[in-house]
Every structure is written in C-alpha cells, then in structure tokens.
A and B are shown apart, each in its own frame.
Chain A
Amino acid sequence: MNLSKILKNTFLVILLSMVVSACATKKTATNLDSQIQGDVYTGTDTVEYLAKGVPDRVFFATNETILTTMSRDTLRKQAAWLRENPSVNVVLEGHADERGTREYNLALGERRANAAKDYLMTYGVSADRISVISYGKERPVDSGSNPLSWSKNRRSVTVKAN
C-alpha cells in the first residue's frame, strides 16, 4: 500500500497524542501543586480530627519515613492533646501505597508508624500509651492508581484506642 498514507496517519496519531498528553500533564500539574509538595500529600481530603485543630494523620514521600515540617507540626498538636487527655491511648497505623512489594511495604508501614511514635514520645507522650500496627498497602484510603491517590495512602494515622 502507499507508504505516504501510512506515514501521514502515523504522524496524525503522534500529533494527536501529543495534544492529549500535553493537556493531561497541564491538568494534573495544577491539581497536584496545591495538594502535593515534593511527593508528600499536603491536602486535607482524607484527614480526620482527634479534636478541633488536631489532625489525625501525617503523610510521607515515596519509600520514605522522614517526618516533614508539616507532619512534625501535626504530631506536636497530637502530643499536646494527648498530654491534656491522659486517659486516651492511641494506635498508630502505618501505611504504604500500592506501588511496592507487599512484604517490604509491611515493614515500611511499621517504620512510618514508629517515626510518628518516636516524635510523640519526644513531646512527652509515654510509650505505654502508644501501640503501633502496620497495614502495609492493605488498607488504602484512596483507591485510585495515580500519584495523588498514592500520596494520600502513604500515611501514619493516630487512632484512639479507648
């Protein structure tokens, strides 16, 4: 068959896909900028509150367990609230996103929850009030397969145990 026609069609497809992908990138970029900073979720979509002004969760970058400035701020609020409410015990639930092998993610979730625990302890919450559990990637809060969903799932959630 004639080659020029094939080439023309191919070119058209390429051109079209460029247009489409350009649109896609632009859209996600604006969307993500407001809710993700350096791979860490900064939005409030899934966040619940232990008390007024005390968010229940902190978020992590991919494969990371380091607490961001925002996370440390949240945890200091949690610690203050826990000191004011000495009868409350908490469980720290560590989670990972779906883009990692199951067993490694279990370990990663445990490490994240412990990073939060250590910080709470530094701010005066006694270790015997805190227990830790990792769910790895087993309990996502957002079931989408995209960077924003994954960022919401990389988290440590402080849950009242009693």
Chain B
Amino acid sequence: MKKFRLISNIILIIFISISKSYSLVEVDITRGNLNPLPIAVSPLFQDNNSNTFFENELEIRDLGSEISKVIENNLKLSGLFNPLSKDAFLQKPDIAHLKPRFEDWALIKSQALITGKVTAVNEKLKVEFRLWDVLAGREMLALAFTTVPSNWRRVGHIITDKVYQRLTGEKGYFDTRIIYVSEEGPKTQRIKKLAIMDQDGFNTKYLTLGNELVLTPRFNPTNQMVTYLSYFRNLPRVYLLDIETGIQEVVGDFPGMTFAPRFSPDGKKIIMSFAKDGNSDIYTMDIENRIVERITNHPSIDTSPSYSPDGKFITFNSDRSGYQQIYVMKSDGSDVKRISFGKGLYGTPVWSPRGDLIAFTKLHKGKFYIGVMRVDGKGERLLTENYYQEAPSWAPNGRVLIFYRETKSNDKGEGFTAKLWSIDLTGYNERMVNTETDASDPSWSSLLSN
C-alpha cells in the first residue's frame, strides 16, 4: 500500500507540471455559485472478476457505479458543480477512461469529466481515476489508490477532494467526518447521544448509549480524539474520548462544572470554562502533563473559547459589558478586547481555520443569525436568519459552516425538531444535512487524509 501511494504521488507531480499552463476549466469559489460547473462523472469501470469479488465482499452489485455516485453527490452538495445525468452519457466507462471522445462530452455541455477504473488486487480495492478538461481536450489529473474494500466510500470522498482542489485551487473537505449530538424524545426528557458520521451523512455510529446527557462534542484537529461535556453521575464535566479505542476520561479535577471545551490547534491542550460560585472563567489543561492554567479572571460569564489557528489568540464569549458579546485576547489572557459592537447579543465565536474570520451566533429582536466577522470585529456579514440556530463549526478548508437549527413548538410542545444545516461562506448553498435522528452541536473534523 505504501509503495502504491508513492507511485500515485509521482503521477500527481508529473501531471500538475504538464497541465498547469493549459487548464481552462476553473471554479471560482469566492463568489456565490450561481453557475455551477457542469461536470460528468462516468461510472467507474470494473472487470467481471473484480465485480464478482466486490459483490461477495461488500454485497454491492456495481461498486464502480456506487463510488461514482458518492463523488457525484459530494460535488452536487458543494453547490459549485452540476453533475450531469448519466442517461445522457454516450461513451462507455472503460473506453472513456482510456481516452474520452471529447466531442461527445462537449455535446452534453459537460466542461469536466471524471472517469475511472475499479479492480480487485490481492483482495484490496484499487481505484484509478482521471479528471479531464473537456473543452481543452486534456487530462488534468490522474491518481490511483489502494485500500481495504470496506473503505470504498472514503475513496469516493478522496477523489472528490482531489477534483475539488484541482478545479478550485483550494483543499477539499469531503474526506471528513462530523461529530454531533443525536437527539430523541420529548423536549422535557430529551435523550442525547454522541454520534459520528461521514460528512455526507453516511456511516453513522453512536458513541454513547444515551444514559447520561452529553453536549458539545469537538474534534481534535490533529487526531481522532474528541472532547465533550457529559453529565455522567450527574456531575457535568469535560471528557476526553478516543473514538478509535472508546477510552474516555475526565479532563482535570475541577470542583464544579467544566463545559464549552475545544482543542488548541496543535491538539495538545483543551480550553474550556469552569463554573464556580456563579462565575464562569476560561481555563486550559495540557493533555500530556495535566497542567491547568487559568486564562480569564473576571466576575462575568466567560465561555465558548476558541483558539486562532496559530494558537496566539483566543476568541470567547463574555457578558462583562452587561450582555453576551464577543472578545479576543492573547492566549495568555492578556489584552482583552471586545470585537462585537452590532445590535443584539453575540455568542459561540469560532475562529476560521484560515485565520481571517470569526463565525458566531447573533440574537437580535427574537431572531437568530449565523454570521462571520473579521478578527477585529469589522466587516460583519450575516449568512442566515432563522427562529433558532447556533453553534457554527468550520469545514477544514474554511469555506463552509455547519450549525444546528431548531423549529418552534406549539403550546403543547409539538412540532419541535433539531437538525444540522450547512451554508457556504458566501451565504449561498444553505442546506439541511441528513441525519438518522434529530441532531445538534455539530463539529467538523480535519481532512482524514491529505
């Protein structure tokens, strides 16, 4: 496998050097995507032997076609691409992968084409794919991956990431997962569980049983650890969970509620609030040496801390002015500055992985907004307004936000739902993210592969 990855890297390098000066197809993601790029995703070709092998292994009839659907769905949901109907395709997958007849693909108005091939090699899944510029009549990218067959959806996500990166110039966010809180039951006795799924809503797994209340899970940006709040034994405390091993532990030894946890960008610290005697302040704990540091010391509520990607600053929520507002300080707690000055209350600030923006929740005149502002508080932009929504989390490339939205219930408490939604930084492409149950508190992982 390692050997193979080396080969694919070499292909990639050669390929970029050829294609750079010729490429015509490009997607501009900085503006609203009013004209999504028409793209054809050909079903990936597979020979009969491979077909039989994967059918036995995965109980999937046509794996090549299924992988192409994963790619297609990703591209469509990004809002930047318009995958064309396969019914219109004239050329067979195997021949198209060797050398597309570009006129045929141009005829259906496709500007880019993805072709590929799936083979069973030593009980492993090998997937090759190519991205073609239809108008220029050129190959733009060619890569191959080998992995265990059960990883087939991830292969689809990795291919989408490569295509997205080649066409937009920015890293993708498709080979990622979302951790969230799954919700069931009536509002007064809501049962909440930690759940994790692929970014496209597949492969949902529940990490807790629902015996105790759990809230606000967040990914470590560098590994498969998660930090969250659990009411285990009726003691609300921040926990650390390794989702590979299932091992969990309390973070620190605080004589009261700890909450609102997040990791530092290097993944080595947890930053959180600790509430005692009616006052909440911000603390950090080093995961390795367990050293606890107090960052704020103020009689107001200080909570929802989030580090800048370079680790030098912290943005947080405080009501020291009388109401909830957003502040920025140096990571040692010095130089506290208020940055939100618009009308209304501001909460849940979270620093963009690109460093230039802070996303937040705003409450004004009974409406809730998800918005972004620059790190000095200027340039506030509200992306979406609703009855109730909060807690944005950034996709690893800083282009998309995921958050949760609740609906109003009637006097009997009926009609209440909680769902995950995503929206582009541009304010376009707002859409509900499918989850098996009601859901809240989403947190987006880093890219699982690069």
B406 touches which one: A98, A118, A139, A144 (CB < 8 A)?
A98
Contact A106 B259 (CB under 8 A): yes
For chain B, residues 161 to 209, give those with C-beta under 8 angstroms from any C-beta of chain A.
Answer: 186-188, 190
Please indicate which of the listed interface residues B187, B390, B441 has the most CB atoms of chain A within 10 Å of its own CB.
Answer: B187
Residues of B within 8 A of A106 (CB): 215, 229, 236, 257, 259-260, 273, 275, 303
Interface status of B363 (Cβ within 8 A of chain A): yes
Contacts A134-B275, A143-B188, A145-B409 given; does A100 touch B363 at CB 8 Å: yes
Q: Taking the nearest CB of chain A, how far is it from the CB of B154, in angstroms? A: 31
Contacts A115-B278, A134-B236 given; does A102 touch B215 at CB 8 Å: yes
Contact B301 A104 (CB under 8 A): yes
Residues of A within 8 A of B273 (CB): 103, 106-107
- Of the candidate stretches B88-96, B334-342, B375-383, B410-418, the one touching chain A is B410-418
For chain B, residues 292 to 341, give those with C-beta under 8 angstroms from any C-beta of chain A.
Answer: 301, 303-304, 317, 319, 323-324
Interface status of B428 (Cβ within 8 A of chain A): no
Contact A101 B348 (CB under 8 A): yes
Please indicate which of the listed interface residues B216, B279, B303, B348 has the most CB atoms of chain A within 10 Å of its own CB.
Answer: B303
Please indicate which of the listed interface residues B234, B317, B323, B411 has the most CB atoms of chain A within 10 Å of its own CB.
Answer: B411
Q: Scoring B residues 220 to 245 as 1 if CB is less than 8 Å from chain A, else 0, what string do you get?
A: 00000000010000101000000000
Residues of B within 8 A of A132 (CB): 256
Residues of A within 8 A of B304 (CB): 101, 103-104
Interface status of A43 (Cβ within 8 A of chain B): no
A139 to B410, CA, bound (A): 17
Q: Scoring B residues 254 to 286 as 1 if CB is less than 8 Å from chain A, else 0, what string do you get?
A: 001101100000000000010101111000000
Contacts A110-B257, A111-B279 given; does A140 touch B187 at CB 8 Å: yes
Interface status of B408 (Cβ within 8 A of chain A): yes
Residues of B within 8 A of A113 (CB): 278
A144 touches which one: B256, B257, B317, B409 (CB < 8 A)?
B409
For chain A, residues 90 to 121, give those with C-beta under 8 angstroms from any C-beta of chain B.
Answer: 98-104, 106-108, 110-111, 113-115, 118
Contact A102 B275 (CB under 8 A): no
Contact A140 B188 (CB under 8 A): yes
Give the number of chain A interface residues (Cβ < 8 Å).
Answer: 32
For chain B, residues 23 to 62, give those with C-beta under 8 angstroms from any C-beta of chain A.
Answer: none
Interface status of B391 (Cβ within 8 A of chain A): yes
Interface status of B213 (Cβ within 8 A of chain A): yes
A134 touches which one: B190, B257, B279, B361 (CB < 8 A)?
B257
Residues of A within 8 A of B410 (CB): 144-145
A126 to B361, CA, bound (A): 40
Contact B347 A107 (CB under 8 A): no
Residues of A within 8 A of B347 (CB): 100-101, 103-104
Contact B216 A102 (CB under 8 A): yes
Contact B278 A99 (CB under 8 A): no
A146 to B366, CA, bound (A): 11
Contact B303 A104 (CB under 8 A): yes
Q: Taking the nearest CB of chain A, how far is it from the CB of B418, in angstroms? A: 10
Residue of A nearest to B277 (CB): A114
For chain B, residues 398 to 450, give those with C-beta under 8 angstroms from any C-beta of chain A.
Answer: 406, 408-413, 416, 440-441
A27 to B212, CA, bound (A): 40
Interface status of B15 (Cβ within 8 A of chain A): no
Interface status of A32 (Cβ within 8 A of chain B): no
Interface status of A36 (Cβ within 8 A of chain B): no
Please indicate which of the listed interface residues A63, A100, A132, A145 has the most CB atoms of chain B within 10 Å of its own CB.
Answer: A145
Contact A104 B324 (CB under 8 A): yes
Interface status of A149 (Cβ within 8 A of chain B): yes
Residues of A within 8 A of B279 (CB): 111
Residue of A nearest to B278 (CB): A114
Interface status of B145 (Cβ within 8 A of chain A): no
A117 to B354, CA, bound (A): 44
Interface status of A54 (Cβ within 8 A of chain B): no
Residues of B within 8 A of A110 (CB): 256-257, 275, 278, 280
Interface status of A50 (Cβ within 8 A of chain B): no
Q: Taking the nearest CB of chain B, how far is it from the CB of A41, in angstroms? A: 15
Residues of A within 8 A of B361 (CB): 101
Contact B278 A103 (CB under 8 A): no
Q: Taking the nearest CB of chain A, how far is it from the CB of B264, in angstroms? A: 18
A142 to B414, CA, bound (A): 11
Residues of chain B touching chain A, judged by Cβ–Cβ distance below 8 Å, are 186-188, 190, 213, 215-216, 229, 234, 236, 256-257, 259-260, 273, 275, 277-280, 301, 303-304, 317, 319, 323-324, 347-348, 361, 363, 366, 388, 390-391, 406, 408-413, 416, 440-441
Instruction: Please give me the 6 A-B residue pairs with the lowest Cβ-Cβ distance, nearest first.
Output: A143-B413, A114-B278, A143-B187, A101-B347, A107-B280, A103-B260
A-B contact pairs, 27 of them (CB 8 A): A65-B278, A101-B304, A101-B317, A101-B348, A101-B391, A102-B216, A102-B441, A103-B317, A104-B317, A104-B319, A106-B229, A106-B259, A107-B303, A108-B301, A110-B256, A111-B278, A113-B278, A118-B278, A132-B256, A134-B275, A138-B190, A138-B213, A142-B413, A143-B187, A144-B410, A145-B408, A146-B411
> Given known contacts A106-B215, A115-B278, what 6 new A-B pairs fall within 8 Å (CB)?
A100-B363, A101-B363, A106-B273, A107-B280, A134-B257, A149-B411
